[in-house]
Structure 1
Amino acid sequence: MADLDLAIVGMGPRGLSVLERLVARLWEAQRGGPGGGPKVRVTVVEPEEPGAGRIWRTDQPEWLVMNTAAVEVSLYSGGPDEGPWRAGAGPSLHEWLCARAEELGEEPPSPNTYAPRRVYGTYLRDVFARIIGHLPPGVEVRSLQGRARELRRSTDGRYRLCVSNGVELTVDKVVLTTGHPRNRAEDADRDLLDFASRHPRTRYLRGDSAADMDLAGIEPGEPVAVLGLGLTFYDVAALLTTGRGGAFRPGPDGRLRYHPSGLEPRLYAGSRSGLPLPARGRNQKDALYRYQPRFFTSEALAEARKQAVSRSGNVQLRFREQVLPLMLREVDYVYRTTAVRVRDGRDAAAEFADRYAEAVAGGNPGALDKVLAEAGLADQPAIDLEAMARPFRGERFAGPDAFHDRLLEVLRADADAAELGNVDGPLKAALDILRDIRGLVREAVEFSSLHPDSHRDEFLAWFNPINTMVSAGPPVMRIQQTAALIEAGLLTVVGPGTRIGTDEDHGVFTLDSPQVADSRVTARVLVDARIPRPNVHIDSSPLTRQMIADGLATAHVNINARDGARFTTGALAVTGRPFRVVDAAGRPSRDLYALGIPTEEQRWFTQIGNGRPGPMAGFHADADAIAADALRQVTGQGPVAVPQPTVRPLSGTADAADAAPLPLAG
């Protein structure tokens, strides 16, 4: 009989990370305890592929690619050593790709390759296999293929878990890492479904992973309307172009040209911004590089909270007033210092960085203006994140051709900036800092750290879409491909402020932009290329519905005790680490945990499907917190002290020291 029975519900990257840390800790207990370690059984429940889950499953087409360079991705919480790959010691995605290439006698890939999603899924499955292939004595991992449908607490304090394959489990502890939801249709979504149901030749494909959309029935040349110009849009476009046999090839001027197969439909796409998600800068950062902020720091946030308490008697912050200025200062600082380094060299940039910081510390705007003028930067405007995310705001266009001319201008400028890199390109280096400081953003906004109104209106509704636009984009090739599709006449971007409508008389959907004359287009097929937001109140999962109905779990509500403001986020309510699920009475469970997407909007940016190589932080540290707490009764171990990441020079450049963006450690 096991000393401890655990279940992990959902075995995609988040569930895999919890399993990895559980087994790594059990190895530690095995080495440190007399007479061997505890007997532990872990049951993983996953309807798709264990390790890969649904989003990263291995039967996807090869033209669906990741949006993170392979060198920045690892599911192991520690790098490989002289032993076998196992929990706590294994390769990053890039190291794994190199090992695979060596076995096949192929050239190793670049560290900055963007792997196909199915290849990442194969890596995840390999991680899962390595973990369960190297278990400590007395530890068992069993895998059940099925969907968890019901979870109830028994009178003895244990949990009864019912799975769709008919299996029922009784376990001591449960970890929920269920990933991207499928939501019930509501409001406009339901109206579109109802419209499609009234017109037999009309189809509406709801928002989901593109690999799960039924695009096969779309005919060549058929008009297809697409809502959204984010990451899923790029996937939909790839499936309906490259996936139909077309090819991108460089033209005489070096720009990509699209060579159609003749099987493609005509795409008409639009969004609020009218801009396809801009590219990330070409990666120039080493796997172990960590940025050390100079202005947006934990100390600065603590001071902001102290000021909030003195003014309002409440620790909650206002995002625009107390958080955003610190973030923008960090972005501007990197933008300016990078420009000086690229132009004048590292020593000049270091001197400029110190003078910039001194001017800011003095609190006199004129002092900073003087520093910028002396550095020859007076005419370089500051980065305007909102203008970058909404570049067509206030503009009017005489027609689709005029808008496309302007759009192609923006896309080509973005591709050029991205090619300069996220170290040597001042713009993309600065925007990449928004990725590097995500941990501090979480510290500022998670777990009701913002006033409810600010959380809803300033952070989630206003800043979060802007941040996604400017810092979470695809590799630059997607921008180049989009421009090629527009030039080939297979893609029409309708324009900013895209409106969706229906025409009952003709049984078609309509799209148009109020800023582009004669932009109205019609289509019988509408694809929603927007990923649904997680919300426990509309999640179609029987498990989620049952847990909420029974009060075993509840939605997170951000409340300000001083003024009574409330914001129901729709996230599954959890405590801080180790992320215990909170029930309807507000009581944290001792033995039920949730991690990742179900907790999004109480937490932030939990949709990321990987950790980074190097010191354990963020993704891996979250998983470790659950593992430590879940195993405490059988191992006696506390949580691991997570080391602060250190700043390392970059590798893979002509002069690594000169390539690193300022500031550096110290």
Structure 2
Amino acid sequence: MNIVLVGAGPRNLSLLERLLAHAQRTDEETTITLFDPFPIGGRVWNPDQDPTFLMNTVTQQLTLFTDPSVAKSATGVFGPTFYEWAITVGPEFIQSHNFKNAAIFLDEIARINPNRFTSRALFGVYAQWFYENLGNYRPKNVQFAYLRKAVIDVQQTAPHMFKVLLEDGSTVDAEQVVMALGNADEANTNEEQGFADFTAQHTGLTYVPAGHPAEARLDTVPDNEPVILRGLGLNFFDYIAKLTVGRGGHFARDRAGELYYVPSGKEPKMIAGSRKGLPMHARGLNQKKDAESHRPIFFTAGNIDRFARENNGKVTYDFFFNLIEKEMNYKHYQNVISDFGLTWPFNAAEFLEALRHSANLNATAREWGVPDEYIMNWDRILNPLGESAEAVDYNEFMVKYLTWDINDALKGNVDAPYAGAFDMLRDVRPVIRHYLDAG
């Protein structure tokens, strides 16, 4: 059998390990080929990219291996998490290879912390080590290889046969093809194309189109000139980093321990905004060890299945969101009453039990005497400025809002009343996968 894996990022690398595990059970001759125009790790985790760009998951929560907690039909390879690899074999692996950013990687590892964030490039190095390590577990009946080429088309030629067309015009025949394409390019929207056209028609203007931040031509943005950053999502932080510390600026601490930024003088004058006008909520300081996660009470596969059975196999959006809202509200109130600095006139266990059986957790919290400032106000969460946005001193509001958000996040992604509830959404993704798998 000939298998083609399009993309050499984490998904296909994990799939490669599973294929090798299942191949132990058969004598069938199998060839597996990974294709990617980028190094092992793929576009997002390219080890050759600028290490300024950070991951959005802390180091101890990252791995390409399964562990005994994962049910598997074929036993595979166990190995170190990203953090464990970094503090053990990582430096030796880097020194034995010719990585473009080797000195920076070794510097990163010397300062690595299980609860902080490291570069996407360094995770790409871990991905390459993982790929090379799999060679030690290859069954005799399997050959696998990685080719740094782009796949531009896949055509089905028979019920179980595909022709894979490569960028150089050559083709590969395969019985199975898996496409894990990751972050693919998109054509400009009409609005974006309008920006590009306007820029081309006027001298002195620069337009950097939407795309992968590590490949954006930010060197074309002039020093000390105004630049608009459109959007405040994850890529916004990449651009901010590249246009500040990436241009020689750095951070220091004052005598009170507060961080402040020391500019290099090469930064542009950045004007940032989005439709919502606010950045993403601050990620809670990590308190979760390894695979530790929130165990849902309301938003469970069982509750979704039960509703589907009673409604001809369908789940309404209102029911689906109501379960998520109740789950987040419960976690919020659990963290509010866990604050040892507060004294409540009720038994905590009885209060939580009442919430578990409540149709409206906010109403129940009010009945038990929880003050309004601790009530989970969804209107305020979704629209912090409220309806009186034009009457608000925006600078004053923004400083207060960010201060509140950061102080809450510093309480941790387990204990914080808000950041703890928001972080829970990452833990219930298996329920969302179940919902999709069940159709």
**TM category, shorter:** 0.7 to 0.9
- Contact 2:151 / 2:167 at 8 angstroms: preserved in 1? yes
Q: In the TM superposition, what whole-angstrom CA distance separates every residue of 1:551-586 from its partner, at most 9, and x where no partner exists? A: xxxxxxxxxxxxxxxxxxxxxxxxxxxxxxxxxxxx
The equivalent of 1:648 in structure 2 is none
Task: Write the distance in 1 (CA, Å) between the matches of 2:195 and 2:91.
Answer: 51
Q: Secondary structure at the match of 1:294?
A: coil
| Long gaps (5+) in structure 1 | 80-85, 310-314, 450-666
SS state at 1:268 partner:
strand
SS at the partner of 1:159? Answer: strand
Does residue 41 in structure 1 map to residue 41 in structure 2? no
2:175 aligned with 1:184? no
Deviation per CA, 1:431-467: give whole Å up to 9, x if none: 21111112223334x3695xxxxxxxxxxxxxxxxxx
Indicate yes or no: 2:78 matched with 1:75: no
Query: Once the 2 structures are TM-superposed, how far is the Cα of residue 186 of structure 1 from its aligned partner?
Result: 3.0
Can you list the C-alpha shifts for 1:444-495, whole angstroms capped at 9, x where unaligned?
4x3695xxxxxxxxxxxxxxxxxxxxxxxxxxxxxxxxxxxxxxxxxxxxxx
| Mapped partners of 1:441, 1:370: distance in 2 | 30
Structure 1 residue 394, shift from structure 2 partner: 2.3
TM-superposed deviation, 1:172: 0.9
1:111 and 1:295 map into 2 onto residues whose CA distance is 31
Q: CA deviation at 1:122?
A: 0.8
How far apart, CA to CA, are the structure 2 residues paired with 1:362 and 1:54? 46
Q: How far apart in 2 are the matches of 1:391 and 1:145?
A: 47
**Greater mean alpha carbon deviation, residues 419-428 or residues 99-108:** 99-108
How far, CA to CA, are the matches of 1:365 and 1:291 in structure 2?
Answer: 18
Aligned to 2:408: 417
Q: Give the deviation of 1:255 after TM superposition.
A: 2.5
CA distance in 2, matches of 1:365, 1:270: 34
1:363 Cα offset (Å): 5.1
**Is residue 297–residue 440 contact of structure 1 (8 Å, CA) maintained in 2?**
yes
CA distance in 1, matches of 2:228, 2:202: 16
Contact 1:21–1:77, Cα closer than 8 Å, also in 2? no
Counterpart pick for 1:384 among 377, 388, 391? 377
Is 1:123 matched up with 2:113? no
Residue 95 of structure 2 corresponds to none
CA distance in 1, matches of 2:76, 2:34: 16
8 Å contact 1:12–1:54 — kept in the other structure?
yes
In 1, are the aligned partners of 2:35 and 2:148 still within 8 Å (CA)?
yes
Aligned Cα root-mean-square deviation (Å): 2.9
Alignment of 1:360-399 (within 5 A): 360-361=356-357, 368-369=364-365, 372-373=368-369, 377-396=370-389
After TM superposition, the score normalised by the length of structure 1 is 0.58
Q: Does residue 1:316 correspond to 2:309, yes or no?
A: no
Alpha-carbon shift at residue 367 of structure 1 (Å): 8.6
Residue pair 1:158, 1:173 contacting (<8 A) in 2 also = yes
Q: Is the 8 A contact 2:336 2:374 kept in 1?
A: no
User: Secondary structure at the residue paired with 1:327?
Assistant: helix
Corresponding residue to 2:43 among 50, 54, 61: 54
SS at match of 2:387: coil
Q: Deviations over 1:63-88 (max 9, x none)?
A: 21111011111111237xxxxxx962
Letter in 1 for 2:404: A
Correspondent of 1:407 among 394, 398, 414? 398
CA offset digits 1:178-235 (Å, max 9, x no partner): 1111112232122222212222432221111211100112221011111101110010
Q: Structure 1: how far apart are the matches of 2:137 and 2:189?
A: 46
Residue 290 (structure 2) aligned to one of 272, 282, 287: 287
Tell me whether 1:210 sits opposite 2:206 in the alignment: no
- Give the superposition deviation at 1:364: 8.2
Give yes or no for contact 2:329–2:361 (8 Å, CA) kept in 1. no
Whichever residue aligns with residue 287 of structure 1, its letter is: D
Q: What is the letter of the counterpart of residue 404 of structure 1?
A: N
**Amino acid aligned to 1:14:** R
Give the counterpart of 2:352 among 356, 362, 372: 356
Per-residue CA deviation, residues 244-303 of structure 1 (Å, 9 max, x unaligned), is 000111234432211111111111111011112221100101112132211221222123
- Identical aligned pairs, as a percentage? 27
1:339 aligns with 2:352: no
Superposed counterparts of 1:554-569, under 5 Å: none
Q: Give the corresponding residue for 1:570.
A: none
Amino acid at match of 1:415: I
Pairwise CA distance, 1:334: 1.3
Residue number in structure 2 paired with 1:238: 241
Q: Summarize deviations over 1:602-644 as a string: whole Å, max 9, x none.
A: xxxxxxxxxxxxxxxxxxxxxxxxxxxxxxxxxxxxxxxxxxx
Residues 328 and 353 of structure 1, relative CA distance in 2, 3 Å threshold = farther
Distance 2:50 2:363 in 1: 55
Residue of structure 1 in register with 2:432 after alignment = 441
Looking at structure 2, the residues matched to 369 and 423 of structure 1 have their Cα atoms a distance apart, in angstroms, of 20
Partner residue in 2 for 1:136 = 139
Distance 1:416 1:39, change over 3 A: same
Per the TM alignment, residue 94 of structure 1 is displaced from its structure 2 partner at its CA by 1.0
Provide the rounded CA distance (Å) in 1 between the counterparts of 2:322 and 2:336.
Answer: 21
User: 2:72 is matched with which residue?
Assistant: none
Q: Offset of 1:398 from its aligned partner?
A: 7.2
For the 8 Å contact 1:146–1:163, the answer to whether it is kept is yes
Which of 274, 279, 285 is equivalent to 1:276?
Answer: 279
1:416 aligned partner, one-letter code: N
In the comparison of the two structures, how many residue pairs are matched?
418
* Stretches of 4+ aligned residues off by more than 6 angstroms: 364-367
Whichever residue aligns with residue 171 of structure 2, its letter is E
The 2-side partners of 1:362 and 1:60 are apart by 50
Equivalent residue, structure 2, for 1:329? 326
Aligned to 2:18: 21
Equivalent in the alignment of 1:93: 82
Mark the CA change 1:369 to 1:413 in structure 2 (over 3 Å): closer, same or farther. closer
Change over 3 Å in CA distance of 1:107–1:240 after alignment to 2: closer
- Candidates 173, 181, 188, aligned match of 1:170: 173
Asked if the contact 1:316/1:448 (under 8 Å) is kept, the reply is no
Relative to 1, partners in 2 of residues 1:137 and 1:148: Cα closer, same or farther, differing over 3 Å?
same
Contact persistence 2:250–2:261 (CA under 8 A): yes
The counterpart of 1:63, out of the listed 25, 31, 52, is 52
Deviates more, 1:426-435 or 1:230-239: 426-435
Compared CA separation, residues 108 and 403, structure 1 to 2 (3 A): closer
Q: Which runs of 5+ in 2 are unaligned?
A: 69-74, 93-105
* 2:297 is the counterpart of 1:299: no
CA contact (8 A) 2:286 2:412 kept: yes
Greater length-normalized contact order (CA 8 Å, ≥ 6 residues apart):
1
